[in-house]
Amino acid sequence: MKKAGSIVLATLLSLSVFAGCSSSTQSDSGSGAPASGSEAGSTPAASTAEGDQVTFKFMHQWAEEDRLPYWDNLVNSYMEKNPNVKIETEVVPNEPYKEKIRVMLGGNDVPDLFFTWDGEWVSRFAKNGAILELDSLMSDEFKGSFNQGILTTGQVDGKQYSLPIRTCVNFVLYNTKIFEENSITIPKTWNEFMDVCETLKSAGVTPIALGNGEGWAAAHYISALNVQLVPWDTLNDDYYLTTGAFDDPGYVEALNLLKGMNDKGYFMDGMPSTSQNIAREMFNAGQTAMIYDQCASFKSYYLDKMEEGSWDVFALPVVEGAKGDLDMMVAWVDQFAVSSTCKSPETVIDFLEYFYNEENQLQMQKDLGFVSTISAVATSPEDSFPQLIKAMDIINQCKGFIAVIDLEMDGSVASVYQSDIQELFTTKSPEQIMSEVQAEAARVKAEQ
C-alpha cells in the first residue's frame, strides 16, 4: 500500500505488465543467457571497462535451476565486456533470504547490490541509512526509461532508493475441466465463492490448494480481505502505525472468513504444514480445483506444466457490503538496492544499466517470464498468453495496490501477525490474534 502513487500505479501498470509477470521458466535454449548483442551502459560503461580493477558483491534470491542460468549469464557477460570488473555473486533461496539480509545489514558484511522488496523493507533500509539514494547516480535517460509509476515503489520521501525489477499481483486460478464438469460459473462475490467451494466439496473435489508451511500463503488471503473489510484510511493509519490501533472489526472478520474456509474443509488436509510449492503441484495435477497465487507464478508453475486451456484465472471475489476499498488489489514489487557501504557505486549502477537495457530485459521476459519495468520493453506483446492477458485486463480496471502484510507494515508487527495467522488453524481465535497484533503495534509505536 503506497500512501501516494498507488492509484497512478494502477493506471500505468497497463504499460508495464502486458508481456508477462511470472517467476521463472526454462528458456527455449536452456541457457538463460542474456542477449549477446547487449551493450553495457553508455558513457559509464566505457570508463568502467577501462578503469582500475573493481570488485563488488551481488546477492539475489533466484536459486532455482530454471532461474539461476539467466542471472549467472548476465553477470558473466557483463564481466566479459568489462574485464576489470569482478562480480562476486551469492544466491540465497527465497525462504531464508529475509533473515539473511537482516543479519547482513546489521553487520559489516553487506552486499554492494542486493535484492529486496518494496514497502516497509525499502523504507526501513533507507531511513536507517543502509542503502544509497540513487538519484545522483542515475542519468536522466536511465531514470526516464522506467515506468514512472512503478518507479515510485522504490522511493522514500520522494527520493529514489531502489529500482523495481518486476510486479506481482494475486489471482484465483481454477481448473477449467473441473468447473465445467460441475457446472460452475465464475463467482463474483464472496458468498458465491463459498457456494462454489461447497459444491466442489460435495462432489468429492478438494476446492482450494493452499500450502502455509512457510507461513506466508494464508497471509495473502488476509492481506486481500483486510483491504476489502477495513476502511482505507483506517487501514493506512494502522499499517503505518499512525495510530496502529488495529481495532476495526474488519480485521477479525477477515480472519473469521479464512478460518471458516478451513473449518469447512475447503483446503486440503495438512494445509498448515504443507509448502506452497506442494500446493501448486496438487493444483497442477488436478487434485484441487483452485489455488490463490501470483501472476509471478503463472508461466513457470502453471503454463509450462499444465495442458493448454486447462486453467484460467479470476480476481478474488468481493465481500458484499464490505466497508473497505473493493477496487484495490494485492501486489508487490521486487527491487534492487545498493548498500551505503558500497565503495564503487558507479560501477554497480553501470551493471544495473546493463541489466535494464532493452535487449537484456527482453531476454529476461522470455527466459524468466518476469515483467520488465522498462516502459519500452514491457509494452511488447511477445511471450504473452491468454491467462496473463485476462489478468492484465483485471489489473487495468483496479484503482491501486496494497502489498502483502509482511512487506507493507512494520516488520515486528508483521511477524506477529503472520505467525499468528498460522495458529488461526490450530490454537488461536481471531480475537486473540488481533489482540496480540495490537499489543505489538503499541510496543513498536511507543519505541518509535
Q: For cell 539467466, name the residue.
A: 70
Confidence tier at 390 by pLDDT (50, 70, 90) = confident
- Which residues fall within 8 angstroms of residue 229, CB to CB, at 6 or more apart? 248, 250, 251, 253, 254, 319, 322, 323, 324
Is 210:267 a contact under the CB 8 Å cutoff? yes
Q: How is residue 361 written as a grid cell?
A: 530485459
- pLDDT mean over 348-352: 98
Of 265, 296, 260, 259, the C-alpha closest to 280 is: 296
pLDDT one-digit tens code per residue, 160-185: 999 999 878 899 999 999 999 999 99
Does position 50 have pLDDT exceeding 70, yes or no?
no
Q: Give residue 30's pLDDT.
A: 35
What does the chain come to in residues? Answer: 448
Q: Give residue 149's pLDDT.
A: 77
Confidence tier at 33 by pLDDT (50, 70, 90) = very low
Q: For cell 502505525, name the residue.
A: 241
Q: Return phi, psi of residue 410, to 5°.
A: -50, 140
Of 140, 132, 136, 40, the C-alpha closest to 87 is: 40
Of 16, 328, 350, the C-alpha closest to 151 is: 16
What percentage of the chain carries pLDDT values higher than 70? Answer: 87
Which amino acid is it at 253?
Answer: E
Is 175:286 a contact under the CB 8 Å cutoff? yes
pLDDT one-digit tens code per residue, 288-304: 999 999 887 888 899 88
Confidence tier at 374 by pLDDT (50, 70, 90) = confident
Domains of the chain: 27-167+333-382 (3.40.190.10), 169-330+400-447 (3.40.190.10)
Three-state DSSP state, 156: strand
Reported pTM: 0.77
Q: Give residue 37's pLDDT.
A: 39
- pLDDT mean over 380-392: 74
- Which residues fall within 8 angstroms of residue 425, CB to CB, at 6 or more apart? 212, 218, 259, 262, 271, 272
Q: Give residue 283's pLDDT.
A: 98
Confidence tier at 19 by pLDDT (50, 70, 90) = very low
Q: Give residue 379's pLDDT.
A: 56
Q: Give residue 339's pLDDT.
A: 96
